[in-house]
Each structure stands twice: as C-alpha cells, then as structure tokens.
Chain A
Amino acid sequence: MNQHIKSFQTKVSRRQVMIGAAGLSFAIALGDRADAAVLASERTGTAMSPWVSIAPDGTITIMSAATEMGQGSMTSLPLIIAEELDADWTKVRIVPAPPIDQIYGNPGFGGSMYTAGSNAVTSYYRPLRTLGAQVRRVLLDNAARKWGVPVEELTTEPSVVVHAKSGRRLGYSEIAAFAEVPAQAPVIKPEELKKPGEFRLISKDVMRVDLPTKVNGGAKYGIDIQVPDMLYGAVLRAPVEGSAPEKFDEAKVKAVAGVAKAVKLPYGVGVIAETPWAAFAARRAVADSVSWSKGGKAWGFDSDKGLDTFLAAARDSTVNGSDWFKTGDARAELPKSATAMEAEYLCDYAYHAQMEPLNAVASVSAAGDSAEIWVGTQSQSNAQEATAKALGIARDKVKVHDLLLGGGFGRRGPRDMDFLIDAVLLAKEAGRPVKVMWTREDDVRNGRFRPLSAHRLKAGFDASGKLVAWHHRLVGDRVTPYFDPVRYERAGKKDFILMLGADLKGYDVPHQLVEQIYEDTGVRTAPLRGISFTANKFATETFIDEIAIKRGVDPVKFRLELLQKTPRAVKVVERVSQMANWGRKVEGRGFGFAFLDYSGSQMAGIIEISLDRRTGQIKAHNFWCTIDCGTAVQPDNIVAQTEGSTVYGLGLALSESITIKDGAVEQSNFYDYLVPRMNQVPQMHVEVIQTDNHPTGVGQMATPLVAPAISSAVMQLTGVRIRHTPFTPERVKKALG
C-alpha cells in the first residue's frame, strides 16, 4: 500500500526536490512515541523519505538540514515544515539530515549544506513551507478518497484530518498507513499557505528541541564522541601556514608512555596515542625539535606594521583599488562638492573563540577506500568533500555524523575543514579511529581571523549641506579567496566576506563608491560573527555620526533624514530612540547610536557608557536594540540571539585583538585574548518589531552595532573620537591625551 517514492534518490533534480516533488513519501515505521519534540539520532522506521516520515504511533520525523551551533536552526527549520504540515509538535522528532546536497542543500549557498551568514531561515523558509503544505495536501487527498467527500470539505488540526460535516476524524498516522502518494507533488500556490494569523507554531516561542539536553550534560558535541578502538591525536601545526616540518626527533615522541607514533603531515607533526594526555604530552615533547620549511607567505609579517602599510595604501590615491560597489558617480561628484569631510578607521584581527576547541573523530577503512567522520561543522558538504579529497575517494564513500557545535561563529565552515583533516590523516595512518582535539592554544594560534583592515572615507556635501557623495577606500586582508576559493570563483572573484556592508545600504546618498584595495599577507582569515559588517559598519556608522556632529544635526535625526525612503528602518530607529529616551543627559555617561541594514534585517542600537579616564577603561551600562527581521519565527530566540550578538560585538569593540609577529599569532589563551565576561556586559533591552515580511537573519545582526555606537558615545562624553577597534584602555588613554 505504502508507496515509497523512488525518486528520492539523489539524482532527483534540485528544483523538483525543493518544490517538494520528492518530499512526500510516508514511511511506515515503528518508533517510540515522543512526548514533546525531541532531538533524535535516527529516523524511526526502516523506510526513509527526504524530509518527513510518519510512523504508526503518530511520530513525525522531520529532517534538520542546518547544523546547530546555538542559533536555533535545528528547531526553527523543522518547525516551518511542521507549521504547514499542521503537525502535532509534541509528536515531532528531529533528525540531522544526511549530506545530500541535492535534497537538503541551502538555497542561499548554491545548494551546499552550509549553515552560515544567519541565512538558514531566510533561505529555507519558502521551500520548507511549501514542502510541509504538500505533505498535508496528500494527507487530505487520501482522507477525501477514503471518505468519498470533496477535499474542500476537509480541514486539519494538529496531526488530524477533520471532516466537520460528518464529524469524522483521521490521524495522520492512520492515513499514512494507507496513503497513496502521487508521483508528482501537488502544486501549492503561495496564497494557499497559511496566513500569519493561522500559525500555530511560527512566532509562538516553541522551546528549542536541543535545550533540555543542554542543562544536564546530555548534549553530544563532536568532542564528546568516542568510538570503539579509538586512539587520540594531537597536531603541532607550522607557525605560518604554507610551511612544512623538515625534520623532528621522533625519539622524543616515543619516549612518552602510551604513544603509538609520530606522523609527518604536510603542514605539521601529528602524534597518535592511547590517551589524550599522552597525545598532548608527546606533542609538547616534540615541539622544540621540529624545524620548519619557510614556505608560506606570512613569514616576516607584523600586524602593527601591516596596519600602517594598509593605511598608507588607503591614503595614497595612486594605489588603485577595484570597485566593489558603485551607485551614481562619486568620482565625478566628490570634486564638485561644496564642502567635504574625511576620516580614517582601523580594525585588528579578531578570533572566534568558540567555546568548544576544534576537534573531530575519523575512521578510515583499511583499504583507504571509505571513511566515517564525526564532527561539529557548519557545512556537512564541505566536511564530506574535504575528507574525500584528502583520501582521494568519492564523496559518497564518506559517512558523515554531524554533531552539535560548541559555537561556530564562522570558524567551522571552511572549504578545507582543517581541523577535520587532522583526524582523517591520522586515522588513515593509525589504521584505527582517531579523535583529534585542538587545545585552546592550538585553536588561537591556528585561528582564522576576522581580517585586519584600514578604512579611509570621504563625504561630499552640496551647497545646502546635504550629503551627496561618498567614497570608502577599504584596505583589508583578503578572506574569500583563502577561506572558500570555490565560492570566490563563483562570485566572480569578489571578496564578499571582506567587503559586504562597506556601502550605505538603507541611506539615501546618491553617489557612492566603495573600493577594495586587495592585500594578501598570508595570514589565515575567515568570516567571524557579524562578518565584514563588524569592521565596515564601524567605519561607515562612525563616520555618519561624525558628519552629523559636524553639521550640527542630532545623529538620530540625521539617520532619519537619510532613511526617509525606508519606512521599516525609520521604525526601528524611532522605536529604539524612544526606548533609550534618546537625547537625555546623564552625568558621567555618554550615549551613542548606530543603524544597520544587515541582509534585510533592520537594526538600531543605542549604548550608554561611562569611562574611567585614569585607566582608559570603557564600561557599557545599557544597550537598547530594535530588530525588524520580518516574520519572527522564534521571537524569544531572536531576542536571545540579539543579546548574544551584542555581547560578541562588545568584545570586538573593547578588548579582542589578535596580533601577528613574524607571521605567527602572538596570543594563546583567554588571558591574552580577552572575551567579555558577565561583569562586563551591559543590561540589554531588545525589542523585536514583528512585520509580515519574509524572515531575514538574526544570528549576528547586533554585533556590528556595538563598536560605532561606543565610539560615538565616547565622543559625546569626552569630545574625543576613537577610531581603532578594539578600544583598549591604552588606545583610549592615548586618544584622550
């Protein structure tokens, strides 16, 4: 009776799948009844369908295509399916989807399974709603046939089809037992989807399914995995990427009890041991005996001098950049301006500091022709592909187990999946499964950073004082070509991970030019929470504040003038200024404002700070923030993400700095890389402004607000502008003179 659609195979075209053609099989399955939506390791039953299975006991298994790093996608994406399916959420089990790009790939990343850019809900929202509605329609059609009534007379309640006229009811699991599934999915027109007023789950604050396991130690992260016969690995990487070990003293490794062997890797020395402590001890023992080839580009690079070089290039108009963004004709208009202003801003390298140090477990078959990996990754696709590439095997020979991530923030999604390949190469060498854990020191020193950047901005005004022309020259260490060369090529060699947000999106300024002056220091880089917006909005929003002050206009009023054509933006700005009672004066306190259109999410923030002039220490007391991200799928989670991304922004603004000396990272742990602690964070007051627009991102949107808001608050309090993040006490003291 039950037809399992054969077209679930990966050959099915992406379009078919994403419109749901393949999403309609119902697995007849045995399974435990769930009392609430739970995170499960496997689908119930033997017969599988890509997204949804319905078991006889009523359990509905829904696939989670995004990985979970704290942002909540493992709940919110299945919730979107469940909404249109009208599933009883208490019967839902959520299972990580296998790495089949054609079925589960993120439409926002060219169909790769990649969780990043705060875009999971944004990109999956429509396809998953349609898919849920299609499954529901098939259930309705089957019930209509069974009862011999027109399908139009049927409605659903959670997991039940209802024929009100006759009072008959059929549970989804009962229907699944006899359902005939059409080869072609029914067409669902957009107007047939639920109206926001009909939502039972979306915007109702359903508890995230992973939370119960995160208060009792039960949540399983990559680092928690043990598999039978497993060994432990540690890797000493070259201080500069591109270098290789020339020689080392293997006897020093062998002298440590419990150590199996040392392995020369293309980029470092690996050790394999019976226990983690033996592996760490062996690596310590071998460290001093390694000599490195001087391969790679970063040798000799010092970040402080590098930043001077970057700034000099930004100032030197003979250094040509490439046009990243252009509207109007700023080159022609700027020289014609009645008046003009210029300013410069600087940003240091910054480190992700996700709490779970990077790690992975891998097992490679004796013949080397297949592998199994356990990893917390932002991209199941990249993890599978990088493993396959390292072993020279086909992607489908790699079985992927994606685990919870103890933070991602952009670090866990690179094309080459560096931390996973450590485990793969050592497992191949060992002939047994190997777990490789990076220490915190490894994680810092082998970090891939938010790039170093220097920004020179120029604004031109017409005779009436109106801002008409804008030029932003951005000199920054390249990111995309290093972090993800495939996407760099696809994007037409645009370094979007460095450059996004360098324009004035939302503001009505007719002539804008953003230029990228390309630098490649050889230092490892990556997207980091807030991505390019953290540096670029620090530059643009701080400059906008400077312009307002110079013109004698209130900085919030000035934004409202520039935002006249974008009512959603006006609303977040007006509301946050009400919340903070903007304009009031408080003795010893400074207030600063920032606005941001981040991938469509409208953000506004106001910070209240004080400053110890003796030490140069800035203290944040309150932060008010408004966010309009369209339809709020999980409102309280949006508040939580906004609080979290504010704290992250506070670290980038005040204390977090990576410095490079002779190509190597100088910091090593939380004593010299200072992330915010509880006693440093302000009271945060977040308001989600719900609109019926398509949902946009929430995972990192407040991060870029913080630095420009603080710079402007310090300006208001002291009359001094600080221009170099992080605003360390030393820098603040120096600026105050």
Chain B
Amino acid sequence: MATNFTVNGKAVSTNAPPETPLLWVIREDLKLTGTKFGCGTGLCGACMVHIEGKRAFSCQTQVSEITGKSVTTIEGLSPDSSHPLQKAWLAEWVPQCGYCQSGQIMSAADLLKQNPKPTRAEIVEHMSTNICRCGTYQRIVRAVERAAREA
C-alpha cells in the first residue's frame, strides 16, 4: 500500500512497508542523499529532517507515521545554499568530513525557528543531540551565532 506525503514541497509516494524508517525512503527511493545514515537509533542526528516544521530523526520515524505530512530535507532548506545557516557554515569553515553537517544544519534551523536569538548555552544544549566525530563543535556554535546575528 502506498504512503503519500510531501518532501520539500513535492508530493511523493512510497510502497515501502509501513515499519520502514523514513530515512531509507528519503535516501534510496527518493534519492535525496543529503540526509545521512549514522546510527539507526536516534543517537547521532545525521538523519535529522524537519517533519511538519520541527526537527525529527528520520531513522526513528516510520513510514506509517508520515501519511499526509510534510517533510523537509537539507536539499529543501533553500534552493541555492542561501539559508543564513548555510552561509554561516561556509563563512566559519565548519565542515570537515561533512557527513554529519546536513543533520547539524537541520537541527540548528529548528532551533533558530523556535528561538531566533539563542544564547550560547541554548545552542549547546539544543545541538548536543547531534554528533560530529571530526569535532567541529566550536565552529558550529560560531556559525549558529553568526546566522542568528546576520539573519
């Protein structure tokens, strides 16, 4: 049975079994590979997307839960890397291997939406859901602060 929902504003449909993690549908069916597989258990944040405008671990969201909902992935955050966070990420030279950064940016976008001028402590608390093994944390904080300032 097909599940219908929207991704980055476009209507999509999948025949994946209802218990399939949304992550795999996004990556392998829809070929939106900016959303990453990291742990499969909601512990690292590499799979972070927005569902109905709020951040969610796509590896912990089953297809059965998203009927009719709207999903945004890193590819849908802006058409041309123009989101203030994307610009700030480049200005601060945040990425190293880059694998976690889609998830980091999606988490940060969720934060700024709720709280456009977060304190440093609020940034750290919110972003500690996301692991960066290259250790770019200090630059992520700077980039979020920059985006909040320049947005």
Contacts from A to B (Cβ < 8 Å): 69-72, 207-208, 210-221, 223-224, 226, 232, 257, 275-277, 353-357, 404-409, 437, 439-441, 636-637, 640-641, 643-648, 669-671, 675-679, 681, 683-684
CA distance A648 to B137 in the complex (A): 11
Contact of A211 with B133 at beta-carbon distance under 8 Å, contacts A640-B139, A669-B41, A678-B127 already known: no
Q: Is the CB of B24 within 8 A of A275?
A: yes
Q: Is the CB of A277 within 8 A of B17?
A: yes
- Chain B residues in 8 Å Cβ range of A207: 90, 93
**Interface digits, B93-135 against A, CB 8 Å rule (1 contact, 0 not)?**
1111111111001000000000000000000110110111111
Q: Is the CB of A355 within 8 A of B73?
A: no
Q: Is the CB of A277 within 8 A of B97?
A: no
CA distance A210 to B39 in the complex (A): 24
Q: Interface majority SS on A: helix, strand, loop or mixed?
A: loop
CA distance A637 to B24 in the complex (A): 33
- Chain B residues in 8 Å Cβ range of A276: 24, 28
A80 CB to closest chain B CB, in angstroms? Answer: 19
Contact of A647 with B135 at beta-carbon distance under 8 Å, contacts A207-B90, A277-B17, A670-B41 already known: yes
Cβ of B136 < 8 Å from any Cβ of A?
yes
Contact of A215 with B81 at beta-carbon distance under 8 Å, contacts A406-B36, A640-B93 already known: yes
- Chain A residues in 8 Å Cβ range of B124: 678-679
Q: Is the CB of B138 within 8 A of A355?
A: no
Given contacts A212-B81, A355-B100, 6 further A-B pairs with CB under 8 A are: A70-B98, A404-B97, A437-B37, A636-B93, A670-B41, A681-B137
Contact of A211 with B90 at beta-carbon distance under 8 Å, contacts A354-B97, A439-B40, A679-B128 already known: yes
Contact of A275 with B39 at beta-carbon distance under 8 Å, contacts A217-B75, A219-B98, A644-B134 already known: no
Q: Is the CB of A407 within 8 A of B135?
A: no
Q: Is the CB of B97 within 8 A of A356?
A: yes
Q: Is the CB of B81 within 8 A of A677?
A: no
Q: Is the CB of B31 within 8 A of A670?
A: no
Picked from A71, A216, A437, A683, the residue with its CB within 8 Å of the CB of B81 is: A216
Q: Is the CB of B133 within 8 A of A275?
A: no
Q: Which of B73, B97, B138, B141 has the most CB of A within 10 A?
A: B97
CA distance A220 to B102 in the complex (A): 12
The closest CB in chain A to the CB of B59 belongs to A440
- Chain A residues in 8 Å Cβ range of B81: 212, 215-216
Q: Is the CB of B97 within 8 A of A678?
A: no
- Chain A residues in 8 Å Cβ range of B96: 70-72, 640-641, 644
Q: Is the CB of A217 within 8 A of B135?
A: no
The closest CB in chain A to the CB of B95 belongs to A214
Q: Is the CB of A215 within 8 A of B86?
A: yes
Contact of A677 with B134 at beta-carbon distance under 8 Å, contacts A211-B93, A217-B33, A404-B97 already known: no
Q: Is the CB of B44 within 8 A of A670?
A: yes
Interface bin, chain B: 35 or more
A676 CB to closest chain B CB, in angstroms? Answer: 7
The closest CB in chain B to the CB of A444 belongs to B39
Contact of A407 with B134 at beta-carbon distance under 8 Å, contacts A218-B34, A276-B28 already known: yes
Q: Is the CB of A355 within 8 A of B38?
A: yes
Contact of A215 with B37 at beta-carbon distance under 8 Å, contacts A677-B131, A678-B127, A681-B135 already known: no
Q: Is the CB of B21 within 8 A of A354?
A: no
- Chain B residues in 8 Å Cβ range of A275: 16, 24, 28
The closest CB in chain B to the CB of A684 belongs to B138
Q: Is the CB of A355 within 8 A of B41?
A: no
Q: Is the CB of B131 within 8 A of A355?
A: yes
Ranked nearest first, the 9 interchain pairs of A and B with the lowest CB-CB distance are A217-B34, A647-B135, A406-B99, A214-B98, A70-B97, A70-B96, A644-B135, A224-B33, A217-B74
- Chain A residues in 8 Å Cβ range of B35: 217
B8 CB to closest chain A CB, in angstroms? Answer: 10
CA distance A214 to B86 in the complex (A): 9
Picked from B38, B94, B139, the residue with its CB within 8 Å of the CB of A440 is: B38
The closest CB in chain B to the CB of A230 belongs to B28
Contact of A216 with B74 at beta-carbon distance under 8 Å, contacts A669-B39, A681-B137 already known: yes
Cβ of B11 < 8 Å from any Cβ of A?
no
CA distance A14 to B97 in the complex (A): 31
Contact of A645 with B98 at beta-carbon distance under 8 Å, contacts A217-B34, A275-B28, A671-B41 already known: no
Q: Is the CB of A215 within 8 A of B95?
A: yes
The closest CB in chain A to the CB of B17 belongs to A277
CA distance A521 to B134 in the complex (A): 30
CA distance A670 to B139 in the complex (A): 22
Interface residues of B in 1-60 (CB under 8 A from A): 16-17, 20-21, 24, 27-28, 31-41, 43-44, 46
CA distance A497 to B43 in the complex (A): 31
Picked from B75, B93, B100, B127, the residue with its CB within 8 Å of the CB of A216 is: B75
The closest CB in chain B to the CB of A649 belongs to B135
B12 CB to closest chain A CB, in angstroms? Answer: 16
Q: Is the CB of B133 within 8 A of A440?
A: no
Q: Is the CB of B131 within 8 A of A670?
A: yes
A658 CB to closest chain B CB, in angstroms? Answer: 15
B25 CB to closest chain A CB, in angstroms? Answer: 9
The closest CB in chain B to the CB of A642 belongs to B135
CA distance A303 to B23 in the complex (A): 36
Q: Is the CB of B93 within 8 A of A637?
A: yes
Q: Is the CB of B43 within 8 A of A220?
A: no
B24 CB to closest chain A CB, in angstroms? Answer: 5
Cβ of B71 < 8 Å from any Cβ of A?
no
Contact of A681 with B138 at beta-carbon distance under 8 Å, contacts A275-B28, A406-B98, A669-B41 already known: yes
Q: Is the CB of A440 within 8 A of B136?
A: no
Q: Is the CB of B31 within 8 A of A355?
A: no
Picked from A408, A669, A676, A683, the residue with its CB within 8 Å of the CB of B135 is: A676
- Chain A residues in 8 Å Cβ range of B97: 69-70, 354-356, 404-408
- Chain B residues in 8 Å Cβ range of A404: 97-98
Picked from A223, A277, A441, the residue with its CB within 8 Å of the CB of B16 is: A277
- Chain A residues in 8 Å Cβ range of B40: 439-441, 669
Q: Which of A210, A353, A640 has the most CB of B within 10 A?
A: A640
- Chain B residues in 8 Å Cβ range of A437: 37
The closest CB in chain B to the CB of A647 belongs to B135
- Chain B residues in 8 Å Cβ range of A71: 96
Q: Is the CB of A70 within 8 A of B134?
A: yes
Contact of A355 with B44 at beta-carbon distance under 8 Å, contacts A215-B95, A216-B75, A404-B98 already known: yes
- Chain A residues in 8 Å Cβ range of B131: 355, 670, 675, 677
A266 CB to closest chain B CB, in angstroms? Answer: 27
- Chain B residues in 8 Å Cβ range of A647: 134-135, 137
Q: Is the CB of B20 within 8 A of A277?
A: yes
B15 CB to closest chain A CB, in angstroms? Answer: 10
